[in-house]
Amino acid sequence: MILNMGPQHPSTHGVLRLLLEIDGEQVVRMMPDIGFLHTGIEKTCEAKFYQQVVPLTDRIDYLCPMINNFCYVLAVEKLLGLEIPARAQWIRVMLVELQRISSHLVWLGTHAMDIGAMSVFLYCFREREDLLRIYEMVSGQRMMTSYFRIGGLALDPPLGFFDKVKKFLDIFPERVDEYENLLTGNRIFIDRLKDVAHLSAEDAIAMGVTGPSLRASGVDFDLRRDMPYSSYEKFKFKVPVSKDGDVWARYLCRVQELRQSREIAKQALEGLPSGPTKANAPKVVLPDREKMKTEMEALIYHFKIVTEGFTVPAGEVYQAIESPRGEMGYYVVSDGTAKPMRVHMRSPSYVNLQALSKMCEGKLIADVVAAIGSIDIVLGEIDR
């Protein structure tokens, strides 16, 4: 029998349609059908200036928008050869780790809710609410922040921002203890997740799986540590790896990552260097608002950048970063004009989804729900 786990389903984490060919309770074959959220972002990017593409990138992986901003902005800065000041890099790292925490909180809440532990969802969203207020304080927007710009940050963080972040980071470890208290020793939770949807290391590498799902299968590879970008080499953190490769291992890896992200954010906060938050490139970076209102030169630069954009020397670049779901990569091709020739997003969920069929074939239907939750997909980045 072919069962349609249709695009509208509480457990598919978005508009994902799964065609399950089942025999009794067992899944014989699984075919994902995507494209319900396809909005042609890659095509739209070709019609916009480089700085206008930044808000488009927010919407791709909407649970951690600053991470997509980050990847795109790093790619264009690599194309331009811009050097970003240390303060901007550290603030970027701090915010990116906070975004990783908020993305993992959504994963934990929704995954536990799928399995049946309903109250964990509200616990996680209580912390996420604090984080959304932090993002709103720094950029004016709760989710689609567009705070990282080409050349640094949009604005300096406001007064009182770092105190608020410090307060959050101080209470966070005991909150993670609360979640673990509810779930990690829970007999029912362990029974639902252990030995379910196993993925071996060779299969994971062959399928292109990256991120916590890869590390839970035993492959110790994290882009932040192994191919560092934006001063990640200055931070000390552990990378959780597990050998089991089942849903339980992925759960443990991600919960450990919550703790490690908090460590990195704390180190970034404590060691924050002083200095400017925008690069010194008047043709690319918008000038200070006050200078724009008083100096003629700054006004002309502002006008030129906003109306005509800035040209980027021809070439191509592939920049990959570690997003909460895996390797998020941006392939930007420039032909020397002010609009990108091609922007391609290598979204981790798109590739991890292929592993889902491998994990679920031959297993029970109820395990499909656990498996979808464990690979942590976001349909926005699958369909773009």
Whose Cβ is closer to another protein: residue 12's or residue 139's? Answer: 12
Tell which one of 154, 219, 272, 364 touches another protein (CB under 8 A): 219
Task: Find the shortest distance in angstroms from Cβ 32 to another protein.
Answer: 9
CB 380 within 8 A of CB 323: no
Does 52 bind another protein (CB under 8 A)? Our answer is: no
CB 195 → another protein: shortest distance, Å?
Answer: 23
In degrees, rounded to 5, the angle at the alpha carbon of residue 304 between the alpha carbons of residues 298 and 309 is 130
CB of 188 to another protein, least distance (A): 34
- C-beta closer to another protein: residue 124 or 223: 223
- Restricted to residues 344-363, the positions that interact with another protein (CB under 8 A) are 344, 346, 350-351, 353-354
Q: Is 299 in the site for another protein (CB under 8 A)?
A: no
Indicate whether 327 belongs to the interface with another protein (CB under 8 A): yes
Strand 2-5: give its sheet, edge to edge.
Answer: 2-5, 17-23, 26-33
Window contacting another protein (CB under 8 A); options: 37-45, 51-59, 106-114, 121-129: 37-45
Give the phi and the psi of residue 343 in degrees, each rounded to 5.
-125, 120
User: How many residues touch another protein (CB under 8 A)?
Assistant: 42
Q: Near another protein by CB under 8 A, which window of 86-94, 99-107, 150-158, 201-209?
A: 201-209
The one segment of 10-18, 105-113, 116-124, 204-212 that binds another protein by CB under 8 A: 204-212
End-to-end distance of the chain based on CA atoms, in angstroms? 31
Do 71 and 330 contact (CB within 8 A), yes or no? yes
Q: Rounded to 5 degrees, what angle do the CA atoms 350, 351, 354 make?
A: 100
CB 380 within 8 A of CB 103: no
In order of 101, 121, 146, 200, the CA distances from 130 in angstroms are 11, 15, 19, 37
Label residues 335-366 b or e (16+ Cβ within 10 Å = b): eeebbbeebebbbbbbbbbebbbbbbeebeee
Q: Does 125 bind another protein (CB under 8 A)?
A: no
The interface region with another protein, picked from 3-11, 148-156, 298-306, 317-325 by CB under 8 A, is: 317-325
Give the residue, chosen from 221, 234, 239, 269, that forms a contact with another protein under the rule CB under 8 A.
Answer: 221
Segment contacting another protein (CB under 8 A): 79-87, 89-97, 118-126, 294-302?
Answer: 79-87
Which span (5-13, 190-198, 206-214, 253-261) binds another protein, by CB under 8 A?
A: 206-214
* Binder among 26, 44, 52, 186 for another protein (CB under 8 A): 44
User: Which residue from 10, 24, 40, 185 is in contact with another protein, where contact means CB under 8 A?
Assistant: 40
State the CB neighbour count (10 A cutoff) for residue 201.
16
Query: Rg of the chain's alpha carbons, rounded to an integer?
Result: 21
Query: Nearest CA to 179 among 89, 253, 285, 105?
Result: 105
Spatial distance between the Cα atoms of 225 and 244, rounded to a whole number of angstroms: 22
29 binds another protein (CB under 8 A): no
Using the minimum distance from each CB to another protein, give the nearer residue, 79 or 369. 79
Task: Decide if residue 316 touches another protein (CB under 8 A).
Answer: yes
- The residue length of the chain stands at 384
Measured N-to-C along each axis, helices 161-183 and 247-270 cross at an angle, to the nearest 10 degrees, of 160
| Site residues for another protein per CB under 8 A | 34-35, 38, 40, 42-44, 46-47, 78-81, 83, 205-208, 219, 221, 226-227, 313, 315-318, 320, 327, 329, 331, 333, 335, 341-342, 344, 346, 350-351, 353-354, 383
